[in-house]
Structure 1
Amino acid sequence: MAEACVYNDRVIEPLTEENSGEWFNLVKNYLIVHHLWRVMIDGTTPHQDDPSWRQKNEEALRILRISCSPQTRHLIEGVAEANAAWRILRHNFAHKPSVTVNAAGAGSLDVGILYNAICANNWEAAEEFLDRHPSALTAKVTAANGTPLHVAALFGHVELVEELVRLADPEFLEIVDDYGSTPLAIAASTGVVEIAKCMLNKNRNILDTPDLRYHLPVALAIGAGQKEMGRFLYEETPLEVLKPQNGYLGSRLLRACFEAGELDIALRLLEQCEDIIFAADHTNWTPVAGIAIMPSAVESGSHQLGFWKRWIYHCE
């Protein structure tokens, strides 16, 4: 029986074409929870001489390898960087070989050609395909039903994203994949701020579009350790959507901040919206509960310790 990694007491089946959508999502979550996702999105320079980065890179590679069957594992044998191995696996498993496009007379269209062009950051080939098949711009080209823009955002191809956004109507940026993720949500996790800025110049509604786990793009960025992206998106996200009377989204953001140690943003949100301290998310977790169990993190992570203590004492 093939070896597999354990994720939250669940065993992931070895990667296959049939389970690739769930596999990539669960493995990504596992890496995020264990603070390994950064090596999947950062290049090897200037990190390659950093012992801590190399250790995390090796651990992420190990997780990928033991999550694959022997038949799949050979694809990443000899690959030294986890982010390169991740892209190889996505290239081989995370696209659909064909879809039916509704354009008159188009019939069945092999969107794998477009997918491969985007993965390779080859705008010339992608543009040629889209010129011949304009409807492919909104085609679902991944196993999780992501669009070409989802793929370009995942790989961090800034110029290619800009070209796709230029061709698209604003509503195109609101299309979600099977996990409720917009292209901005994907970009938030990969951390390329230029991509987020490009998308927001086209459509700002995507700032307050949560995924199926009630995570806004800003929460996804913070959860993935993308501090620059998280702070940029926090500045852009309307405060109104984070208020407790409008749902779980503010509490989910605070939870992501606490779990990632991003206390500056947490502090700002609590200052701007004090009643959020008691607001439960969809799992009944509350910010006050999060603060109560993190005194050591508060003391070491906040330059305004008195403010945090005031909240704790106020809630006792």
Structure 2
Amino acid sequence: MNKKKKVTIYDIARISGFSPKTVSRVVNGEKNVKKSTYEKINQILQEYNYVPNTYARGLINKTNRNILISVPKTEFYPLEWFHILLEKIILECRKHDMNTIVEYTEPNDSMENSVLYSSSSFIGAAVIFYESPRDQRIMYLQKLGIPFIVFGKSDTEGVTYVTNNDYDALKSLMYYLVSKGLEKVSLLIGDQSLVNMDRVRGVKDAYDELGLDASLIEVVYQMKTVEDVYLYSKADFTKENIPDAIFVSGDEKVIGLIRALNELNIKIPEDVSIVGFDNIPWAQYFDPSLTTIAQDFTTLSKEIVNRLEILINGMTDLTSIEVPTKLIIRETTK
């Protein structure tokens, strides 16, 4: 055999005369292998520069540890916070000896063109981002019996999800702002997803508990991009008509708000306080530096991968979890 060619466990088994299962035990460092057998197989492994193949090892061990991370791509996704969380998930998967496959799908892609459809036999579990109503990915995974976790709140029956505690995040933020005398607020939110609806509910419940008039709250949906926020802010805000505070659902979109306020000669935080969401690394370098709600990316990634591990091992009765956030106070609030 050409030693430059990448060999598999099955090649090593044929060369050594031992079964693939025995070779797998040696590759995985298991102790229940006869010393002479171990030495012979190990010598062949070194001779042929064998590199373990995650896919093959999963098939031999009857456990498929290949994780598909499925991400629909649009003109405004994925954002910076997603890349931070993705990196954390991949690193956490490595700690659990899991191989990750990341697939970005375009809006008009059909299931037949997806990795999930074409290579489902190699997928042991999946992480679904940006779930949509009657999501085809979820229906297909359920049909095949492949376990999965959704990131972000889900209302699909029987689905386990990991998300931020968005309700408490915004409720706590309102308590903080009101304590500083900032009662009139505008919320520049994306679409009417479960996550964003939870954020709005947290704001309204805080005002109800504080005995404040709900008319002090302005909720603006469909603020999906920097441009959306910029155009709305430039058209709607004036120096004479500005709320006490503006919350933007995403740090990156705050750039559009700051640009608009600068052009309108509205000062931050003297005239209006601003709060974002995500705590992306460069939020601290905004001018002024951005007060924001920090996602706990490390805990989110651990909760996702721990649940994947449990699902791969055959357990199905899992609870969803909402991970606490943290308010980071910087210069954009009074």
TM over 0.5: same fold? no
Q: Which has the larger share of helix?
A: 1
| Band of TM-score, shorter chain | under 0.3
Q: Which has the larger share of strand?
A: 2
Point out which structure has higher relative CO (alpha carbons under 8 A, 6+ apart). Answer: 2
TM-score (norm 1): 0.25
Rg larger in 1 or in 2?
Answer: 2
